[in-house]
């Protein structure tokens, strides 16, 4: 470690009292004869830190002449209900008209930075936050001639897997008013499902792309960790941060992935990604028989079917889908036991709660990335009382759980990080042992919950999330690619629409090896080509027959 100076400048403000405070925070003492030396060292560090903080921040540049921001405005009340957080119109003025996304409209989850377009982050906890740079994925879709038409509502600070937490109001399931569309990329799900946009990019830290995609009858892909650069997006915990795609078809998922995948050499999450990534959509176009998977082996994770929270209608629909997949594709479908799968949510919690707390306090220390400094400043402690009061219960829980863990379980995140590797090895070991190409599970074990009542307490607001991420969050910790595709419809049983014949979509999750997105997409494409969505909507819950 270098020391820039040993002699503080005249007027340096660091006192022995400051040194004693630092010692007290560490619960350590210094020898009396050493106090002045350490005060001087601390004083010279203060000078270096102050000089650095007085320097101009470095911001990623945006060519506003090439991609001007037009019609930037707050949504109307009706647009807010549709899932819009902010409206805009951004196109590539230098377009040749030959980009992969020419003619496609796209919405971006509201934690993805778009320069000069405010981010609400679904909350009143953060106020007046407007990014000054574009996220890497924004630059890439604009370069490929997509039309960015707005930001989509995300759940409060991206901390909910159901869709009633946003400060701008609940987002309703497109198949069942008053029920969850899934979170936290809730607006993305509804906007794509209702054909307000062709494509959307969401963020997924525990299932936040796959959950709303499942509940809204969409294809939702969380790719391999780092395949899509996370640069310019607000983080929950850097090792489980993923961006993902939400579309109406597997082909559109492949097309969008082709445009946004690959390292950007800014954010170290993307350093995992190969320099040259496949043309995913071209791989699908080249298939001579898209439904033929006779060369593949598919493993059903048996533990995903043994959960006490698994809805019987989802289970029967999934089992029927497994049989149907084998029938139409000629793939070999076998059961595989991975006992550690049941501990996935526990391991994820041990990373996401203390890690999410530290991210809010410190940003992403020790990582090579691009920090959203103006956002970080609003989440550090001590928090003003009015800001704390405006926080959603799930956000407060992260602060409280993180602070508690720091005091009582200081090694919790480190232990969970090691167990994340054990979990990854368990999946990969099972795939290797059984010579499997992909694993499949029900995407969600539960049906969309109804929105909670106004004035509900913290438990009531969060109970709809119980068990939702059982099959999704593990793959945020292991980094495997995981995609949900619609597999049928199941009748609601609870709430005002329960047992009235109203059905909602349910999904099948396809999990592949690291950077084997082509295989995951191929399996999803075969299923989709052999089962048109209209047929799946009409098929219903097989247990009803």
- What is the percent of the chain where pLDDT is above 70? 98
**506 has a pLDDT exceeding 50:** yes
Q: Which pLDDT score is estimated for 545? A: 32
- Proportion of the chain above pLDDT 90, given as a percent: 94
What pLDDT band is residue 534 in, cutting at 50, 70 and 90?
A: confident
**pLDDT exceeds cutoff 90 at 193:** yes
Strand partners, 151: 86, 108
- What are the pLDDT digits (tens) for 470-482? 999 999 999 999 9
pLDDT at 110 (0 to 100): 98
The closest of 281, 234, 287, 237 to 261, measured between CA atoms, is 281
Residue 32: which residues within 8 A CB-CB, separation 6 or more? none
Task: Catalytic residue, from 109, 151, 315, 360: name it.
Answer: 109
Three-state DSSP string of 210-273: HHHHHHCCCEEEECCCCCCCCCCECCCCCCCCCEEEEECCHHHHHHHHHHHCCCCCCCHHHHHC
Name the average pLDDT for the chain: 96
pLDDT digits (tens, 9 = 90+) for 2-45: 677 889 999 999 999 999 999 999 999 999 999 999 999 999 99
Instruction: Check: CB of residue 150 under 8 Å from CB of residue 85.
Output: yes
Is residue 327 flagged as an active site residue?
A: no
Per-residue pLDDT at 1 = 54
Task: Please list, in sequence order, all residues whose beta carbon lies within 8 angstroms of the beta carbon of residue 123, skipping any fewer than 6 positions away.
Answer: 156, 157, 166, 167, 390, 391, 392, 395
Q: Mind listing the pLDDT tens digit for each residue in 114-128?
A: 999 999 999 999 999
Contact yes or no for 304/469 (Cβ under 8 A) = no
Query: Is there a catalytic annotation at residue 109?
Result: yes
Look at residue 541 in the predicted model and tell me its pLDDT. 53
The whole-model pTM stands at 0.96
- For 238-283, write each residue's pLDDT tens digit: 999 999 999 999 999 999 999 999 999 999 999 989 989 999 999 9
What gap in Å lies between CA 203 and CA 109, rounded to an integer? Answer: 7
User: How does pLDDT run across 365-411, given as a tens digit for each residue?
Assistant: 888 999 999 999 999 999 999 999 999 999 999 999 999 999 999 99
| Rounded distance between C-alpha atoms, residue 378 and residue 464, angstroms | 28
User: Is 424 in a helix, a strand, or coil?
Assistant: helix
Q: Residue ranges per domain, the chain? A: 16-53, 69-544
**Based on the number of CB atoms within 10 Å of its own CB, is 534 exposed (0-12), middle (13-18) or buried (19 or more)?**
exposed
**What pLDDT shows up at residue 366?**
85
Bond preceding residue 184 cis, omega within 30 of 0: yes
The answer to whether the CB of 446 falls within 8 A of the CB of 309 is yes
In CATH, 69-544 is 3.90.1300.10: yes
* Active-site residue (options: 113, 161, 180, 184): 184
**CA 173 – CA 537 distance, rounded (Å):** 15
The tokens for 186 are: 């809730």
Average of pLDDT values for 403-432? 97
| 304-319 average pLDDT score | 98
Residue 540: the pLDDT is 58
Residue 96 clears pLDDT 60, i.e. is over it: yes
Mean pLDDT, rounded, for 339-347: 98
Contacts of 19 (CB under 8 A, 6+ apart): 30, 35, 38, 39, 42
Sorting pLDDT into bands at 50, 70 and 90, what band is 544? very low
In this prediction, residue 454 carries a pLDDT of 85
Note if 184 is an active site residue: yes
Q: Which of 161, 208, 270, 307 is catalytic?
A: 208
Structure tokens at 225: 């960790």
Residue 336 has pLDDT above 80, yes or no: yes
Average confidence (pLDDT) over 303-327: 98
Residue 535 confidence (pLDDT) above 90: no
Range 484-499 average pLDDT: 97
| Across 165-178, average pLDDT | 98
Report the alpha-carbon distance of residue 268 to residue 273 in Å, rounded.
10
- Helix, strand, or coil here: 280? helix
CA pair distance 123, 158, nearest whole angstrom: 9
């Amino acid at each position: 470690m270098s020391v820039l100076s040993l002699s503080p400048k005249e007027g340096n403000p660091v006192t022995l009292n400051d040194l004693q405070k630092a010692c007290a925070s560490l619960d350590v003492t210094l020898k009396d004869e050493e106090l002045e030396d350490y005060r001087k060292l601390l004083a010279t560090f203060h000078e270096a830190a102050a000089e650095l903080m007085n320097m101009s921040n470095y911001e990623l540049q945006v060519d506003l002449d090439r991609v001007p921001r037009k019609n930037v405005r707050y949504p109307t009340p009706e647009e807010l209900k549709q899932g819009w957080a902010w409206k805009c119109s951004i196109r590539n003025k230098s377009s040749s008209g030959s980009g992969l996304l020419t003619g496609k409209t796209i919405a971006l989850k509201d934690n993805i930075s778009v320069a000069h377009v405010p981010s609400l982050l679904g909350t009143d906890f953060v106020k007046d936050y407007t990014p000054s740079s574009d996220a890497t994925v924004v630059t890439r879709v604009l370069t490929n001639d997509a039309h960015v038409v707005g930001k989509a509502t995300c759940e409060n600070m991206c901390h909910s897997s159901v869709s009633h937490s946003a400060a701008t109001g609940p987002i309703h399931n497109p198949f069942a008013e008053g029920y969850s569309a899934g979170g936290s990329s809730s607006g993305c799900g509804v906007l794509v499902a209702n054909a307000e946009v062709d494509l959307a990019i969401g963020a997924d830290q525990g299932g936040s792309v796959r959950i709303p995609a499942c509940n809204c009858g969409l294809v939702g892909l969380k790719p391999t960790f780092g395949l899509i650069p996370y640069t310019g997006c607000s983080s929950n915990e850097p090792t489980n941060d993923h961006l993902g795609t939400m579309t109406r078809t597997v082909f559109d998922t492949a097309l969008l992935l082709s445009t946004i995948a690959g390292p950007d050499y800014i954010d170290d999450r993307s350093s995992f990604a190969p320099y040259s990534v496949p043309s995913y959509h071209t791989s699908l176009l080249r298939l001579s028989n898209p439904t033929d998977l006779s060369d593949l082996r598919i493993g059903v994770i048996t533990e995903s079917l043994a959960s006490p929270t698994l809805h019987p209608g989802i289970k029967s629909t999934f089992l029927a889908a497994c049989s149907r997949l084998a029938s139409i594709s000629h793939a070999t479908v076998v059961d595989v036991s991975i006992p550690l799968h049941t501990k996935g949510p526990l391991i994820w919690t041990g990373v996401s709660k203390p890690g999410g707390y530290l991210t809010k306090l410190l940003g992403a220390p020790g990582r090579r990335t691009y920090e959203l400094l103006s956002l970080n400043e609003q989440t550090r402690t001590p928090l003003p009382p009015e800001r704390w009061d405006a926080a959603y219960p799930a956000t407060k829980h992260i602060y409280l759980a993180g602070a508690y863990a720091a005091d009582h379980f200081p090694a919790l995140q480190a232990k969970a990080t090691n167990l994340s590797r054990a979990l990854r090895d368990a999946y990969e070991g099972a795939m290797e042992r059984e010579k499997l190409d992909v694993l499949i599970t029900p995407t969600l074990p539960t049906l969309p919950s109804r929105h909670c009542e106004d004035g509900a307490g913290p438990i009531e607001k969060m109970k709809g999330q119980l068990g939702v991420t059982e099959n999704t969050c593990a793959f945020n910790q292991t980094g495997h690619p995981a995609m949900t595709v619609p597999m049928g419809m199941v009748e609601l049983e609870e709430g005002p629409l329960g047992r009235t014949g109203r059905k909602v979509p349910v999904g099948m999750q396809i999990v592949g090896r690291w950077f084997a997105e082509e295989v995951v997409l191929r399996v999803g494409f075969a299923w989709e080509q052999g089962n048109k969505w209209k047929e799946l909507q009409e098929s219903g819950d097989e247990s009803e027959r």
